[in-house]
Structure formats: C-alpha cells, structure tokens
Amino acid sequence: MTLWMSLWATLLKDLSKSAASGAGMRVDAVIFDWGGTLTPWHDIDLVGQWGAYAMVYDPGDEDLASRLAEAEMGLWRDQQTSRGANGTGTLDHVLAQCGINSESPRHGMALAAYLDAWEPHTLADPEALPLLSALRDEGMRVGILSNTLWPRWHHEAVFSRDGLTPYIDAAVYSSELPVAKPHADAFRRAMAAIDTLPEHTVFVGDRPWDDIHGAQQVGMRAILIPHSRLGEQAVAVDVTPDAVVRGLGEVLGVVLGWRAGAQRQ
C-alpha cells in the first residue's frame, strides 16, 4: 500500500470517531510546530552537535563545544522561565557569548559543518508531505510556528529539500521574534501570517506546554502528537489537548471530523 493510500485509509477509519471527539468547527487553517512534529523526534547530544562546529573553528579548543552547548541551553532556559516572554535568541547570540568571530572565514566553514551535522535530524516525517498536500486540497491554509535559533534561510532550505515548500503558506520562527512559544504573541504572529482567526485554526505540536497550552490560550484547537521524549525540557502544565493522535497520518481525520461536525450543526 502506498503512503498516500495508507493516509486515506487512516482517514476513513478515524473520521467518524474524530467527529465525535469535540464540537464541530469551521477549519480554515492548520499551523504546525516543526521539530518533533513535522520531523520525527530524535534524542540530541548538543555537545556532539556543536562539536562539528568546534572541530572546524578551533580544533585546539577542547572545551569550545561544551561552552557553545551551555550557551544555547541558557537561551532555552530563559525562554522557559519567562514563559516565552523572552525569545529563543539566535545562533549569533550563542556564538557571541563564546567569543566567536562571526566575520572569520573559519566561522563560515564551521557553520556549514554544524548545519551538516544536523541534517539527518531535520528530515521530514514521511507522512508530512501527503498530509500538507491533503490539507491544501481541502482548501485549508498551512502555517509553521517554530521555536528555533536557526535563521529563516536554513529552514527554507530544509523545507525545499523535502518538497514541503509548495504546501506552506507562511512560516514564523522565534529567531525573528522578541517572544517564543508559548507566549500568545507568537501564536498571533503565526495566525496573522496566514490570515486566519483562532476560532477557525488548529495547531499541531508535540509539546504540551509550548504547543498545546500556548495554542489553546489564544482560542485555537490543539492536536498533540505525544511521541517526544522531552526530559529536562518538559514543563509541567495542566492541559488537555482537543485531540491526541499517534502520528501525522491521523491529523487529517481529526480536522475533517471537526469540519464535518460544523456542517451538521
């Protein structure tokens, strides 16, 4: 069975069940988290990832990778403790904290090595392309809202590599914002980017606090894909997703179920 046939088989099996999982709603748009949602979850060793940068920039500095990883984790901790009021920052913030000369030719080569080391962890879930295409076929707009330190150009290159670009109407990245998920302004920026209202929008993510709580607080419905092992990144929150699915292949059935419920009302 092809991936497309499998997706539609899942849809037909879950449609009636998902329609009963909540009141019907008009759905104009679906916004997705990126890492751990449109990509499979991977356990990451940040020191190892930064090691690819350090080995090119300064092979003699044995502690550079550890300092870079700690600087990055400091930004993520600040984002968490401020509940997203402080954004994630950018790679440039990490590098500046560690005294990296971003004008150096070594930096350009080191950055390329760092991003290359991340490539296997950025590959789209096999169910992402058929899902985004199906949503667009159903007349829904598709957006991305990602907490990330990476620049837009790199995310766009990743989406282009995986063939997702034609199905994404707009993307919003915390690396370009003063705030980050779960702050309400991050979600409002994402909705504005695709011209949608919260009562007509569904958010799909893998994190109960950043994604589900954040989306629901602005009036969106939220679908949780609970396959990520968050560990120390997990934030305790009392939240109930509007739907829980096992993977991207079940999202379409939930969304069309809600839409069908609205048509019956």
67-107 per-position pLDDT tens digit: 999 999 999 999 999 999 999 999 999 999 999 998 899 99
Q: Does 222 lie in the same domain as 201?
A: yes
Q: Does 139 lie in the same domain as 77?
A: no
Token readout for 226 is 């609970």
Phi and psi for 172 in degrees, rounded to 5?
Answer: -125, 130
Q: Does 164 lie in the same domain as 36?
A: yes
Task: Count how many domains the chain has.
Answer: 2
Of 153, 210, 156, 157, nearest in space to 187 by CA: 210
Domain containing 178 — which CATH number? 3.40.50.1000
- Which range of residues forms the domain containing residue 102? 46-121
Of 81, 237, 232, nearest in space to 224 by CA: 237
Among candidate residues 121, 146, 171, the one where a domain is terminated:
121
pTM of the model: 0.89
Q: Does 59 lie in the same domain as 155?
A: no
Token readout for 59 is 């092979």
The dihedral formed by the CA atoms of 28, 39, 45 and 65, expressed in degrees to the nearest 10: -70
Among candidate residues 90, 121, 152, the one where a domain is terminated:
121
Q: Write the pLDDT tens digit of every residue in 26-58.
A: 999 999 999 999 999 888 899 999 999 999 999
